[in-house]
């Protein structure tokens, strides 16, 4: 394994959700300076104008502080919810009967029954099914389905308030992944210029294919993120791999997924999703409740520290913050804590070693060059960085599938490609416009840029990958081992 003596660069990326907390004066800039790599625009909350204004501010701040920050639009999807109670909430007791009534008015719920916004729920249920409400805090077992009424009894009781979500243990609810609201929000995401778009509750690759079709030519540079949160999505490897292949990235959305498959299964499934995504050359985000106590506290719990560190050691590209940064009291402190924990986990030897695809063949030249460069860099003395000249960011993505302690520098003229690389583990993206350069000056100019950014220094080696024709997708066919000389300083 190769090491250098530079200050550590955090390899695991941080995704932070924007909201009222990040809207506070100066807070967004402090969050970006603290290390946020990707901002999440949660379309379950806020208006189109809210999202537009927040992304405009992100782009202005990122340009001013010299960072590439990606934007992820997260579609709400078919969140299946109960309707509302006439007095705001009810207290359900263990053993009592309770009815989900598809015909009941939206505001007419009481201690005996409540309506539902998903009018075909009864068609998906049968006697013996278990329903989990409010993220599993309340549990109902189905005793009978009579027309549009689902008759249940309470297994785990508690306070049930308006509009809480419903999940079926083991999955099987047939609501489509893309709702009418999602289709409207998709157009908003296109208009404001996001870099990634997350699709909620996909059951198969077909749901991701539908989203890709809706994006059309205008959205061809937007990366699709599949939020893995349905039991059906992880029921077998073929289904999971199909969803991963149909996406540019996946998210381990542990809230609804944990409710549907059970918490005891969740950690193993999380590890399986991360492993499969990396094997299939896709980025992966681990999300939900990673530092939830920091919504109200300035420091994380030990359990949260271990949770984040475990995801880092598994090889996740990014860890995600939700309410912690959108609505919490300590958004900047949460980002800083996430950075500390990630850096600590990345110091472990296992986080810097890799056997990725070492026994597999390759079908593409750019894959072969990228992975060869990473193995060479990890074993050749004196290498301080891997530099990938890339038009789309794909070479840097492939290289980042291999664990290393060295920075991977993605050099791209396209601002879209630069932001896309902001999600990839271990990748530092820099603007590098080759349009006015002579071919013989490319390598020297690239090395000078790395020196300027403190990523390498005189007498170091840099492994460079590039193609014969710059700005051509999939054209990487060359790997060179270059020495940094005094000529590259102040160039």
Catalogue the E-assigned strands of 170-302.
196-199, 223-228, 249-253, 283-287
The pLDDT of residue 147:
95
Marked catalytic residue, from 227, 230, 282, 401: 227
The pLDDT score that the predictor gives to residue 468 is 62
Q: Which residues of the chain have pLDDT under 50?
A: 1
Q: Whole-angstrom Cα distance, residue 491 to residue 487?
A: 7
Taking the CB of residue 120, how many other CB atoms lie within 10 A of it?
13
> 183 catalytic, yes or no?
no
316 catalytic residue (yes or no)? no
The single residue of 11, 13, 40, 282 carrying the catalytic annotation is 40
Quick one: pLDDT at residue 5?
A: 57
Q: Detail the DSSP E strand segments found in 355-426.
A: 383-389, 408-412
**Residue of 81, 245, 271, 340 with catalytic role:** 81
Predicted local confidence at residue 165, as pLDDT? 92
Residues in the chain: 491
Whole-number average pLDDT of the chain = 92
Residues with Cβ within 8 Å of 182's Cβ and at least 6 positions away in sequence, in order, are 43, 75, 76, 77, 199, 200
pLDDT of amino acid 374: 86
Q: Is 24 a catalytic residue?
A: no
Helices (H), 178-252: 180-192, 205-215, 237-245
| Residue 227 annotated among the catalytic residues of the structure | yes
The whole-number pLDDT of residue 259 equals 93
Per-residue confidence (pLDDT) for residue 373, from 0 to 100: 85
Residues 288, 325, 334, 456: which is the catalytic one?
288
The Cα–Cα gap between 444 and 461 comes to 13
CB atoms within 10 A of CB 73: 25
């Amino acid at each position: 394994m190769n090491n250098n003596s530079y200050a550590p660069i955090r390899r695991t990326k941080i995704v932070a959700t924007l909201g009222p907390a990040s809207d506070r004066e100066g807070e967004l800039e402090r969050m970006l300076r603290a290390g946020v790599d990707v901002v999440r625009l949660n379309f379950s909350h806020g208006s189109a104008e809210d999202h537009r204004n927040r992304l405009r501010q992100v782009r202005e701040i990122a340009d001013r502080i010299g960072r590439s920050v990606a934007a992820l639009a997260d579609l709400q999807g078919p969140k299946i919810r109960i309707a509302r109670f006439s007095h705001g909430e009810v207290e359900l007791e263990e053993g009592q009967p309770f009815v989900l009534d598809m015909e009941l008015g939206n505001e007419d719920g009481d201690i005996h029954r409540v309506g539902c916004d998903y009018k075909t729920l009864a068609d998906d249920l049968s006697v013996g099914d278990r329903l989990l409400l409010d993220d599993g805090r309340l549990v109902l077992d189905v005793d009978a389905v009579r027309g549009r009424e689902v008759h249940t009894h309470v297994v785990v009781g508690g306070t049930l308030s308006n509009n809480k979500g419903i999940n079926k243990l083991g999955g099987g609810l047939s609501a489509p992944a893309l709702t009418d609201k999602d289709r409207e929000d998709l157009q908003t995401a296109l208009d404001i210029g996001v870099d990634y778009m997350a699709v909620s509750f996909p059951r198969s690759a077909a749901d991701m294919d539908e989203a890709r079709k809706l994006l059309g030519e205008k959205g061809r540079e937007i990366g699709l993120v599949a939020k893995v949160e349905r039991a059906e999505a992880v029921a077998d490897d073929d289904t999971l791999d199909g969803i991963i292949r149909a996406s540019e990235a996946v998210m381990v959305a542990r809230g609804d997924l944990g409710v549907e498959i059970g918490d005891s299964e969740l950690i193993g499934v999380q590890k399986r999703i991360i492993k499969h995504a990396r094997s299939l050359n896709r980025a992966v985000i681990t999300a939900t409740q990673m530092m939830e106590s920091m919504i109200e506290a300035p420091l994380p719990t030990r359990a949260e520290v271990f949770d984040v560190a475990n995801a880092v050691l598994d090889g996740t590209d990014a860890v995600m913050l939700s309410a912690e940064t959108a609505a919490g009291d300590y958004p900047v402190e949460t980002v800083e804590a996430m950075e500390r924990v990630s850096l600590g986990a990345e110091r472990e030897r296992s986080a810097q070693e890799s056997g990725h695809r070492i026994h597999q063949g390759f079908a593409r030249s750019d894959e072969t060059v990228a992975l060869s460069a990473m193995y060479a860099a990890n074993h050749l003395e004196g290498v301080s960085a891997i530099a990938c000249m890339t038009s789309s960011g794909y070479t840097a993505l492939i290289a980042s599938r291999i664990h290393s302690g060295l920075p991977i520098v993605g050099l791209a003229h396209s601002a879209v490609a630069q932001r896309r690389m902001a999600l990839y583990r271990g990748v530092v993206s820099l603007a590098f416009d080759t349009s006015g350069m002579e071919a013989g000056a490319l390598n020297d100019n690239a090395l000078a840029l790395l020196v300027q950014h403190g990523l390498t220094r005189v007498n170091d080696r840099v492994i460079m990958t590039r193609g014969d024709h710059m700005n051509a997708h999939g054209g990487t066919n060359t790997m060179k081992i270059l020495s940094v000389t005094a000529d590259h300083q102040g160039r």
